[in-house]
Amino acid sequence: MNKELFESYYKAKGWKSAPFQKQVFQAISKGQNGLLNVPTGFGKTNALLVPIVMDGMEQYTKKTKIFAVWISPLRALSKEIESSAKDVSAFYNLEWNIASRNGDTPNAERQKQNRKPPQILVTTPESLHLLLAQKKYKDVFSSIAYFVVDEWHELVGSKRGVMIELGLSRLKSLSPQMKIWGISATVGNIDEAERVLFGQTNHSQNSIRVNTNRRKKIKIKSLLPKKSEEYPWAGHLGVKMAHKVIPVIEKYNSTLLFTNTRNQAEMWYQTLMEIAPQFAGQMALHHSSINKEMRRWVENALHEGRLKVVVCTASLDLGVDFRPVEAVIQVGGPKGVARFLQRAGRSGHRPNETSQIYFMPTHSIELLEASALREAIKKGEIESRNPYIRSFDVLAQYMVTLAVSSGFKPENLLSEIRTTHCFQSISEGEFSWLLTYITKGGDALKAYEEFKKVELTDDGLYKVNSKRVAMRHRLSIGTIVGNSALRVKFLRGGFVGTIEEYFISKLKEGDNFWFSGRNLEFIKVRGNTALVRPSKKKKSGKVPAWAGGRMPLSSMLGAGLREQLSHVANKNYYSPELKSLKPTLDKQEQLSAIPTENQLLIESFKTREGYHLVVYPFEGRFIHEALGSLLAYRMSLLLPVSFSIAINDYGFELLSDQPIPVEDALDNDFFTSQNLSQDLAKSINATEMARKQFRDIATISGLVFNGFPGKFKEERHLKANSQLFFNVFREYDSDNLFLQQAYDEAYYHQLEEVRLREVLKRIESLDILVTYPERATPFAFPIMVDRLRTKLTSEKLEDRIKKLQIQFAR
Amino acid sequence: MKVTIAKNDFILDHRRVMYDVKREEIIVADLHVGKSAHFRKAGISLPGYSFVSDILRFQQIIYDYQPKSVLILGDLFHSDKNEEFNEWNELVKSFPEIKFVLVIGNHDLWSMRSSDLEGLDAVNELQRENVFYSHEPTDKADCINFCGHIHPGVKLKGSGKQELSLSCFWLAKNRLVLPAFSELTGLGMVKPKKTDRIYIPVEDKVIEI
């Protein structure tokens, strides 16, 4: 390819091509695969687009259908990529058809793409699999030359990453000359991320890693209260401190305000409307449950610099290039260094500009997180993203996907999927178990005549023949499991967004609630739609919550927190955050103690609620969930007792209606790593951990179907509860692969047994410091108010019932 | 557990059935026979064992009480005919000396049209002395109503944030609601009045709370 032609694009734009952009160009000229490891805002999209389009000029013929697929994990991002691609191809005078396809794409547009496939298709992992479920997919992808995965660091640690691995394994067979490129921000395990992307094929031999040593400059400032007493000890909303962000918003042309949940975003938007009416008309809300026209409008207005502030969630997390954005406000602990950097990078998006991020803690202890973050960024530390392995649920879904389109031959499929990182170790037995599952329902002992999801045809193909099964499958493709949702619409027409059924079910006619930044009055549910009208009530009502995963604190940040506390224990208040936190920390020390890095703090006290035991390992919520269950299990062997376990990122609490024998527990060496595997297995069984994993697995693998849109009621009697499957499998079918997977995921992904061992070893080496505060301490408070609790009991059901009170009608 | 309702003695069995001592009759509600097969037919796999265990459980109950009759308060069948339906018919056939009566429920309506049930009398409702038997709760003057349909469950709470949700027999003024017999059903949480009585099947007995 012609180097001058390459440079001419940058020249025409008045830019200078960066060294890494030249490197990518050379690699693509040589026909290499690659992983581009560059922070956002340095021109990574163009680095790949320009040479790919240039290659298209040479390779492209009238027969070419899809030439390049560009995977972007976020819908908001695809528009950006689409317009860049159009710009580049127009520059090179190509009359290429460039299109996006994702959940927001209207039906007519999809039909058009089916008739005439675009040359560059910007899509999501889910839509890619939907394409693989189409009869003609082999033809459509037969001439694909490039497969680009954007934001690979976001995908690699999720089951959406597994979808990409599977999709790639298929396309590699269809078009062996296809080149694979990944774009990734830095992750702790970048080498592994690269191996996962290329898989066990020769793509990895002919590949290059393109790095840039340029690092984004970041300025971090915490919004500190005048007095620490202004901060609540607990809570996660932080709206009481909202006035603190107004001067920041006023200072910059355009600001993004990130919250950790959609519910919190709604609350913040509402609060800002009340306390800062001067921003009216220049303020907007953006999260994934809001209808797409609204989201599009917000994104466009951001581009054009018409908005002063946008309250948003992870929906605007990734690489979207909103140039006018000058500052970012993060509300609440971001829980990880990588995520914090990602969000900071949303401001000062151009090379060499400085990202400006303000941190707004929602309760006092989060100030520790800010101090620890600053430290970690200074040291350049960043978390790993662990890829999923052996995700049989995703594989089962994929097998049905292929059966829906043109069918598959098992021997070909097995060798194909073994080239992926995820399924390199799948055995023939496991594979044939899955075949039995999709054809007979997974019950090898007894064949059910009626269960005909996938059928084996005479020519040895596995195929779906029923139109109904095919339609239902298309609707359930994907690995993001949400609760069943209702569409919210105005009575007079106009779609507002989607809310979980559970929230709507609690509303009565005439109740008002706050959603999509509006005060709405609930009228009724019709089909799968909740009808509303604008509310005239002054007082705003409830705000819906969506069950999304709360991110756990990363182990890296956990270690950072312990280090910060150690400074405090040694009276070294070196950062502005620690200084501001001093009164709270003094209170903690007065009531209980502040642990150094060599101590494990345990608090034991009694309140009206019962007897509390709170332990502070500072290891993140997943590890705490395991430790809490383990400790509760080991104690429950000493005496019949029931625990309610609460966790947060700093520690965990065991609550009981009877005194907790903390001394006995310590004498019995309850934190030992001996017998860890057995005890953990039992405690996981006794609690909800594997059950929670199973809920997603049941949906992804097609055990549970969440219903047709628009046919809400009719399908209701088909809704089965994943819990039911879990119980039945555990009792009657313990070899069930999906059940095994639930335990494996609980062990390795959630608990990270290896890490748990390390944590226990660390704890064994610590001095245990037990205090008996007379009341709840600042550390304990945020844990105690958490309502998400798991249970563990060794009492007989009858004995438990005797101690409980029935809930009578009022 | 023995209880006296409207001057008659009944045994509440932890296997979620009730025995009318005077009539020598087993009363049961919401068996939902065929539910797992119905799911499978729709391409959703539910292991068949669960239904087999329901049938075996019911058979054992019949052996234990040796009743003259079995009264089913609705929702015997979950949907249309399937193989589980046949297994149920086999069970009924194997006890020719026992009279089986079904009070038709909302789910049964789908299947009754094409039914070729053997040894089973189906009625819409049943009145015997001052007891009115129905599927859905129905008020009738001067009568006590025995019914199912709700799948009643109660929530128990206590100190230390302890909480339990359990299937129960719910005895209210003029009404007794039976728990669902099928293991494949959810619970309809009820909020009883202070004067109501709640009986909970626990492991191998029934206790009142």
The per-residue pLDDT for range A420-431, each reduced to its tens digit, is 999 999 999 999
List chain A residues with CB under 8 Å of B167.
none
Task: Answer yes or no: are the C-beta atoms of A185 and A40 closer than 8 Å.
Answer: yes
Best residue in A464, A715, A804, A805 to probe B by mutation, most B CBs within 10 Å?
Answer: A804
């002395």: which residue's tokens?
B129
* Beta-carbon separation of B193 and A808 below 8 A: yes
Q: How far is A582 from chain B (nearest CA, A)?
A: 32
Round to whole Å and give the CA distance between A648 and A623.
10
Nearest in space to A184 (alpha carbons), one of A158, A142, A151, A214? A151
**Residue A385 domain flag:** no
Indicate whether A351 and A440 sit together in one domain: no
Tell me how many degrees the CA angle A335-A336-A339 measures, rounded to the nearest 5: 110
**Residue A697 domain flag:** yes
Task: Answer yes or no: are the C-beta atoms of A719 and A705 closer than 8 Å.
Answer: yes
- Of the ranges A29-33, A243-247, A365-369, which is most confident? A29-33
- Split at pLDDT 50, 70, 90, the class of A710 is very low
Indicate whether A240 and A144 sit together in one domain: no
List chain B residues with CB under 8 Å of A733.
47, 49
Number of separate domains in chain A: 5
CB-neighbour burial class of residue A545 (10 A; exposed 0-12, middle 13-18, buried 19+): middle
**Residue A541 domain flag:** no
Average the pLDDT over B140-167 and give the result: 87
Please tell me if residue B97 touches chain A, with a CB cutoff of 8 Å.
no
- Split at pLDDT 50, 70, 90, the class of A516 is confident
- Of the ranges A437-451, A767-781, B31-45, B86-100, which is most confident? A767-781
- Of the ranges A461-465, A512-516, A678-682, which is most confident? A461-465
Indicate whether A676 and A724 sit together in one domain: yes
List chain A residues with CB under 8 Å of B154.
806-807
Residues 7-66 of B with CB under 8 A from A: 37-50
List chain A residues with CB under 8 Å of B186.
721
Q: Of all helices (H) and strands (E), which one includes residue A515? A: strand A512-515
- Of the ranges A63-77, A168-182, A606-620, A683-697, which is most confident? A168-182
Please tell me if residue B180 touches chain A, with a CB cutoff of 8 Å.
no
Q: Return the residue of A nearest to B39 by Cα.
A: A718
Task: Answer yes or no: are the C-beta atoms of A743 and A751 closer than 8 Å.
Answer: no
Task: Answer yes or no: are the C-beta atoms of A727 and A736 closer than 8 Å.
Answer: no
What does the block give as tokens for A349? 């998006």
The confidence score (pLDDT) of residue A494 equals 81
Strand intervals (E) in chain B: 2-5, 8-13, 17-20, 25-28, 69-72, 99-103, 120-123, 126-128, 131-133, 144-147, 152-158, 162-167, 169-172, 175-177, 188-189, 197-202, 205-208
Query: Which of A743-747, A790-794, B1-5 is least confident?
Result: A790-794
The confidence score (pLDDT) of residue A546 equals 61
Please provide the size of chain B in residues. Answer: 209
Of A352, A379, A406, the domain-final residue: A379
Nearest to B157 among A437, A441, A804 (CB): A804
Q: Which position has the higher pLDDT, A473 or A518?
A: A473
Q: What is the mean pLDDT of chain B?
A: 83
- Split at pLDDT 50, 70, 90, the class of A250 is very high
Is residue A51 scored above 90 in pLDDT? yes
What residues contact residue B168 under an 8 Å CB cut-off, 6+ apart? B152, B153, B154, B179, B198, B199, B200, B201
Round to whole Å and give the CA distance between A100 and A121.
6
Please tell me if residue B82 touches chain A, with a CB cutoff of 8 Å.
yes
- Split at pLDDT 50, 70, 90, the class of A547 is low
Nearest to B44 among A718, A728, A806 (CB): A718
**Residue A168 domain flag:** yes
* Beta-carbon separation of A441 and B40 below 8 A: yes
- Of the ranges A525-539, A783-797, B41-55, B174-188, which is most confident? B174-188
What does the block give as tokens for A305? 């610099």
Q: Go through the domains of chain B in sequence order and give each one's CATH number.
A: 2-208 (3.60.21)
The confidence score (pLDDT) of residue A108 equals 92
β-strand B131-133 against B144-147: which pairing, if any?
parallel
Round to whole Å and give the CA distance between B20 and B13.
11
Q: Which position has the higher pLDDT, A707 or A591?
A: A591
Beta bridge partners, A290, equal: A497
Is residue A318 scored above 90 in pLDDT? no
* Beta-carbon separation of A721 and B162 below 8 A: no
List chain A residues with CB under 8 Å of B155.
806-807
Nearest to B161 among A644, A704, A724 (CB): A644
The confidence score (pLDDT) of residue A450 equals 47
List chain B residues with CB under 8 Å of A796.
203
Average the pLDDT over B31-53 and give the result: 64
Nearest in space to A759 (alpha carbons), one of A630, A648, A566, A645? A630
Please tell me if residue B106 touches chain A, with a CB cutoff of 8 Å.
no
- Split at pLDDT 50, 70, 90, the class of A237 is low
β-strand B152-158 against A805-806: which pairing, if any?
antiparallel
Round to whole Å and give the CA distance between A184 and A594.
39
Using only the alpha carbons of chain B, give its radius of gyration.
17
Is residue A449 scored above 80 in pLDDT? no
List chain B residues with CB under 8 Å of A805.
156-158
**Residue A585 domain flag:** no
Residue B122's Cα: distance from chain center in Å? 15
Task: Answer yes or no: are the C-beta atoms of A368 and A565 closer than 8 Å.
Answer: yes
Q: What distances in angstroms separate CA A44 from CA A20, A31, A67, A80, B185, one per listed residue?
A: 9, 19, 20, 13, 54
Round to whole Å and give the CA distance between B147 and B73.
6
Kindly report the number of other CB atoms within 10 A of residue B35's CB atom. Answer: 26
Q: For helices A19-29 and A3-13, what crossing angle results, to 10°?
A: 150
Indicate whether A420 and A508 sit together in one domain: no
* Beta-carbon separation of B160 and A642 below 8 A: yes
Q: Of all helices (H) and strands (E), which one includes residue A219? A: strand A217-222
Q: What is the mean pLDDT of chain A?
A: 84
With pLDDT > 90 as the criterion, what percentage of chain A qualifies?
32
The confidence score (pLDDT) of residue A713 equals 38
List chain A residues with CB under 8 Å of B194.
808
**Residue A578 domain flag:** no
With pLDDT > 70 as the criterion, what percentage of chain A qualifies?
88
Q: What distances in angstroms separate CA A404 from CA A66, A117, A130, A299, A679, one per listed residue?
A: 21, 20, 10, 36, 43
Query: Which of A153-167, A678-692, A701-715 is least confident?
Result: A701-715
Indicate whether A763 and A782 sit together in one domain: yes
Indicate whether A48 and A96 sit together in one domain: yes
Round to whole Å and give the CA distance between A471 and A482.
19
Round to whole Å and give the CA distance between B112 and A266.
50
Q: How far is B174 from chain A (nearest CA, A)?
A: 17
- Of the ranges A284-288, A408-412, B165-169, which is most confident? A408-412
pLDDT digits (tens, 9 = 90+) for B81-124: 667 777 788 888 888 899 999 898 776 665 555 455 667 888 88
* Beta-carbon separation of A720 and B46 below 8 A: yes
Round to whole Å and give the CA distance between A479 and A394.
7
DSSP A226: S
* Beta-carbon separation of B161 and A789 below 8 A: yes
Q: Which position has the higher pLDDT, A497 or A600?
A: A600
What does the block give as tokens for B149? 């349909």
Is residue A481 scored above 80 in pLDDT? no
Round to whole Å and give the CA distance between B24 and B70.
9
What does the block give as tokens for A478? 């994907």
Round to whole Å and give the CA distance between B102 and B69.
11
Q: Return the residue of B nearest to A797 by Cα.
A: B202
Q: How far is A47 from chain B (nearest CA, A)?
A: 47
Tally A–B CB contacts below 8 A.
Answer: 133
Q: For the domain that residue A261 is a member of, what is the CATH number? A: 3.40.50.300
Q: Return the residue of B nearest to A793 by Cα.
A: B162
* Beta-carbon separation of B156 and A805 below 8 A: yes
- What ranges in A92-189 are assigned the alpha helix state H? 107-115, 125-132, 137-140, 152-155, 159-174
Indicate whether A676 and A622 sit together in one domain: yes
Nearest in space to A417 (alpha carbons), one of A442, A392, A436? A392
Q: Which position has the higher pLDDT, B80 or A145?
A: A145
The confidence score (pLDDT) of residue A85 equals 94
Q: Return the residue of B nearest to A609 by Cα.
A: B160
Please tell me if residue B162 touches chain A, with a CB cutoff of 8 Å.
yes
Please provide the size of chain A in residues. Answer: 810
What residues contact residue A287 under an 8 Å CB cut-off, 6+ apart? A262, A265, A266, A312, A313, A315
* Beta-carbon separation of B157 and A805 below 8 A: yes
Q: How far is B162 from chain A (nearest CA, A)?
A: 7
Query: Which of A118-127, A275-284, A505-514 is least confident?
Result: A505-514
Count of helix runs (H) and strand runs (E) in chain B: 4, 17
Nearest to A797 among B161, B192, B203 (CB): B203
Dihedral, CA atoms, A609, A613, A617, A623, nearest 10 degrees?
-70
What does the block give as tokens for A261? 């949940």
Q: Which position has the higher pLDDT, A381 or A564?
A: A564
The ipTM, to two decimals, is 0.74
Average the pLDDT over B15-29 and give the result: 95
* Beta-carbon separation of A655 and B161 below 8 A: yes
Nearest to B82 among A450, A469, A655 (CB): A450
Tell me how many degrees the CA angle A328-A331-A334 measures, rounded to the nearest 5: 90
* Beta-carbon separation of B159 and A441 below 8 A: no
Q: For the domain that residue A449 is a member of, what is the CATH number? A: 1.10.10
Indicate whether A39 and A187 sit together in one domain: yes
List chain B residues with CB under 8 Å of A705.
42-44
Of A211, A243, A258, the domain-final residue: A211
**Residue A53 domain flag:** yes
Domain that residue A516 falls in: 485-534
Q: Return the residue of A nearest to B47 by Cα.
A: A443
φ and ψ of A273, to 5 deg: -60, -40
List chain A residues with CB under 8 Å of B48.
443, 446, 448
Best residue in B41, B44, B110, B209 to probe A by mutation, most A CBs within 10 Å?
Answer: B44
Task: Answer yes or no: are the C-beta atoms of A231 and A781 closer than 8 Å.
Answer: no
List chain B residues with CB under 8 Å of A609.
159-161
Round to whole Å and give the CA distance between B182 and A15.
71
Q: Which position has the higher pLDDT, A492 or A90?
A: A90
Q: What distances in angstroms separate CA B119 from CA A632, B51, B88, B99, B111, one per listed residue?
A: 53, 21, 11, 7, 16
* Beta-carbon separation of A728 and B198 below 8 A: no
* Beta-carbon separation of B162 and A809 below 8 A: no
Nearest to B47 among A657, A733, A802 (CB): A733
Round to whole Å and give the CA distance between A154 and A151.
6
> How many CA atoms within 13 Å lie on the side-chain side of A654?
27
Indicate whether A354 and A455 sit together in one domain: no
The confidence score (pLDDT) of residue A84 equals 92
What residues contact residue A665 under an 8 Å CB cut-off, 6+ apart? A631, A634, A635, A638
Round to whole Å and give the CA distance between B6 and B148.
18
Q: Which position has the higher pLDDT, A516 or A418?
A: A418
Indicate whether A643 and A768 sit together in one domain: yes
* Beta-carbon separation of A804 and B164 below 8 A: yes
Indicate whether A136 and A196 sit together in one domain: yes
- Split at pLDDT 50, 70, 90, the class of A351 is low
Of A211, A233, A248, the domain-final residue: A211
The confidence score (pLDDT) of residue A71 equals 96
* Beta-carbon separation of A801 and B156 below 8 A: yes
**Residue A511 domain flag:** yes
Average the pLDDT over A287-312 and give the result: 87
Is residue A396 scored above 60 in pLDDT? yes
Indicate whether A28 and A113 sit together in one domain: yes
- Split at pLDDT 50, 70, 90, the class of A716 is very low
List chain A residues with CB under 8 Å of B163.
644, 791, 804
Average the pLDDT over A247-252 and give the result: 93
